[in-house]
Amino acid sequence: MSTPLQVYEPFRAGLPPLRKYWKSLWSRRTFIAEYSRSELREQHFDSVFGQLWLILNPLLLSAVYFLLIVIIRGSSDSTRYAHLTATLFLFYLVSNSLTGGVKSITAGQRLILNTAFPRIMLPISAVVISIIKFLPTLAVFLVIRAFLGLPFDWQMLWAIPVLLISVLLALGLAITISCINVYFRDIANFLPYMTRTLLYLSPILYEASDLKPKLKTLELFNPLFPILDSWSRALVHGQTPHLSHLLIAFGWALGIFLIGTYFFLSREREFAVRL
């Protein structure tokens, strides 16, 4: 008996059968893993120097930013450097997801035109790559933390739900921006400026407690603000994050993921015409 063919009729918008779609996506989880590894090999991260640079790049950036803080403030301490390093590493998880996700659809043009598969696999692969890049930096931070003499505490385990929220946010942003880039290609050129602005508006070069009351509105309009503040409280200070910050962060992450996924799935079958 011949295998039945699945025919996709062209349309402008509309969700596919979600149960069948997610089942098809889950069945291709091995492909997502292998596709992510192939992208890493293409970027030479399978070599010793590639993995070394993966750690050195954010580490050197944190050292430069710390030097600037010392020059501007006149003094600093080990806790401030630990905060800067920890938050910068987590910021790069989201930033790399955006950078990899923005062109994940347009760069996979040949694959999309010649193969039937859930297109959302491509931005998901970009996030998987970012997670693989992030894990070595997390190990490096723990070494730095021990070297600085900061005590380890059970409250640090709060970093796990904060990390999960960060991954959900990164996934939602990657899915959203990959779809937007199909229609507006110039967004890839503006992305470096957007991520740089987001870096300065987030509690990385400073701690949330340093903000003046007039600037507290940053907590409401920056989805990374409560995430990075909670990450620093748990992983650097060994404190329990504010419940309100966790709820706000989860609300941002879930909202962006649901809206971005709906937008992506409703336009997915139109990508072949746009590419």
Instruction: List the chain domain ranges.
Output: 18-274
Give the burial class of 132: count Cβ atoms within 10 A of its Cβ; 0-12 exposed, 13-18 middle, 19 or more buried: middle
Q: What residue spans of the chain are helical by DSSP H? A: 18-27, 29-42, 48-73, 78-102, 104-107, 109-114, 121-147, 159-183, 187-200, 218-221, 224-235, 243-267, 271-274
* Of the listed ranges 3-12, 84-93, 134-143, 240-249, the one predicted with least confidence: 3-12
The CA distance from 89 to 17, in Å, is: 38
Q: Sorting pLDDT into bands at 50, 70 and 90, what band is 91?
A: very high
Closest Cα partner for 39 from 120, 137, 107?
107
- The phi and psi torsions of 108 (rounded to 5 degrees) equal -95, 30
Q: Return the DSSP state at 13.
A: S
Asked whether the CA dihedral 141, 203, 131, 188 is positive or negative, the reply is negative
Please tell me the predicted confidence (pLDDT) of residue 41: 73
If pLDDT is split at 50, 70 and 90, which confidence band does 44 have?
low
**What is the crossing angle of helices 78-102 and 224-235, to 10°?**
140
- Chain centroid offset of residue 64 CA: 23
Give the whole-angstrom CA distance, residue 219 versus residue 200: 13
* Torsion sign across C-alpha atoms 122, 127, 132, 133: positive
Task: Say whether pLDDT at 1 is over 60.
Answer: no
Would you place residue 11 in the very low, low, confident or very high pLDDT band (cuts 50, 70, 90)? very low
pTM here? 0.86
**Nearest of 127, 188, 192 to residue 163 by alpha carbon:** 127
Pick from 140-144, 200-204, 210-214: least confident: 210-214
Between helices 78-102 and 48-73, what is the axis angle to 10°? 130
Cβ count within 10 A of residue 203: 24
Q: What is the pLDDT confidence band of residue 46, given thresholds at 50, 70 and 90?
A: low
